[in-house]
Amino acid sequence: MNFLTAGESHGKGLLGIIEGVPAGLDITSQYINFHLSRRQKGFGRGARMKIEKDQVEIFSGIRYNLTLGSPIGLIIKNIDYKNWTDIMSVEKPSIKIDEITLPRPGHADLAGVMKYQFSDIRNVIERSSARETTMRVALGSICRKLLEELNIHVASYVTGIHNIQDHESYNIDVKSLNQKADGSHLRVLNSDIEPKMINIIKDAQKNGDTVGGKFQVIISGAPYGLGSYTSWNRKINAKLAESISSINAIKSVSFGKDSTSSSFGSELHDEIEYSNNQYKRTNNNSGGIEGGMSNGQDILINAEMKPLSTLTKPLKSIDIKTKQTKLAHKERTDSCAVPAASIIAENMACITLLDAILEKFGGDSMKDLKTHFKSAKF
């Protein structure tokens, strides 16, 4: 299974194509739009979320709400494009457009202009923006719908904002976890610490600053044996880590119990039991993955997001034209995007997981896939 996105942050819109989804999956634009709306929420989001109301247009690959087995094409238009028609014109505009020459520390700006030999940082800003992840959520929602038909569910919640951490353990059914998390301004499960987190974000906003945080993605229902130990590039943890670390500002990805290096092996590894014709574990410190393969338990993915690099009180930088020291460029931004990142990570996990399921079970149609999936003995 392959997917591709195209489009600039302030261009006409975003394009997405996903190839390899079996025929016969029931999917609607309303389902995709619901998950797009989840990405736009969260305390600390910027002004753009008040402008855009992301709505997907299904361009190809679906007829009468059923996938055809052919590539699925999606379009999401940028409402804000009307304010950027000259700046983002395909043809050279008749008016002069000022170039951006002050790279932001921590962003793709300087490395991007050096790599592609641009004189205008705008060319880097537009594609390196997290706006691109909107389409990834749309494509991932299609994969999520298929996983749900196999009784595999993906959810997430925020476990930390700045220095406020949630160390509680929760016994919540994954199918209902998102509903509970989505009811929070920051997608947290601990309502006692949420006001402290919000106050930290407010302080950052007042000071022209940004804050990062942590979240966990949980996958229930994943069968034994997704991925493989036989080759480095088939390990399911490596594939999941790659997909989630590709999200803007994600700096680390881990699985299972946090800080595993500080535990003894006897404390960490999950003992094996057998009852009712099933293997079971006493704990899930491994996070559902051993030896690069899913082991039948919930897959637990932890990710950490750095503070966003666009500051309204910017840091010092160097003008790439004059080489003079000045303050970095200011672009419209969020002060905290951790809740949104958790939604994006859910959908990236859905894409990666479905790819692994199709590799293991195969099937050109949903009927084939379900037959193969149900006949497997775990």
Per-residue pLDDT at 378? 59
Which stretch of 31-45, 253-267, 274-288 has the lowest confidence by average pLDDT?
A: 253-267
Report field, pTM of the whole predicted structure over 0.85: yes
DSSP per-residue string spanning 110-164 = HHHHHHHT-S-THHHHHHHSGGGHHHHHHHHHHHHHHHHHTT-EEEEEEEEETTE
Quick count: other Cβ atoms within 10 Å of Cβ 317? 19
Mean pLDDT across 346-361: 98
Confidence at 377, pLDDT banded by 50, 70, 90: low
Other CB atoms within 10 Å distance of the CB of residue 40? 18
Q: What is the pLDDT of residue 375?
A: 86
pLDDT band of 356, cuts 50, 70, 90: very high
Residue 48, pLDDT score: 63
Please say whether the beta carbons of 103 and 119 come within 8 A: no
Alpha-carbon Rg of the chain, whole angstroms? Answer: 22
Round the average pLDDT of the chain to a whole number and report it.
95
Instruction: Decide if pLDDT at 231 tops 70.
Output: yes
| Helix, strand, coil in percent for the chain, rounding step 5 | 35, 20, 45
Q: Assess whether pLDDT exceeds 80 at residue 50.
A: no
Domain boundaries, the chain: 2-375
Lowest mean pLDDT among 21-25, 105-109, 146-150, 329-333: 329-333
pLDDT tens digits along 53-77: 899 999 999 999 999 999 999 999 9
pLDDT at 258 over 70: no
Which whole number is the average pLDDT over 246-254? Answer: 97
pLDDT at site 184: 96
Size of the chain, expressed as the number of residues it contains: 378
CATH architecture of the domain with residue range 2-375: 4-Layer Sandwich (3.60)
Give the pLDDT band (50/70/90) at residue 344. Answer: very high
Residue 17 structure tokens: 């194509």
Average pLDDT estimate for 28-42: 96
- Under the banding of pLDDT at 50, 70 and 90, the label for residue 90 is very high
Per-residue confidence (pLDDT) for residue 321, from 0 to 100: 98
* Spatial distance between the Cα atoms of 311 and 127, rounded to a whole number of angstroms: 19
Which pLDDT does position 340 carry in this prediction? 97
**What would the pLDDT profile of 159-207 be if each residue is shown by its tens digit?**
999 999 998 889 899 989 999 999 999 999 999 999 999 999 999 999 9
* Residue (of 19, 2, 18, 22) closest to 371 by Cα position: 22
- pLDDT value of residue 301: 98
Instruction: State the sign of the Cα–Cα–Cα–Cα dihedral 270, 274, 279, 280.
Output: negative
Do 77 and 13 meet the contact criterion of CB atoms below 8 Å apart? yes
Q: Does residue 131 carry a pLDDT above 70?
A: yes
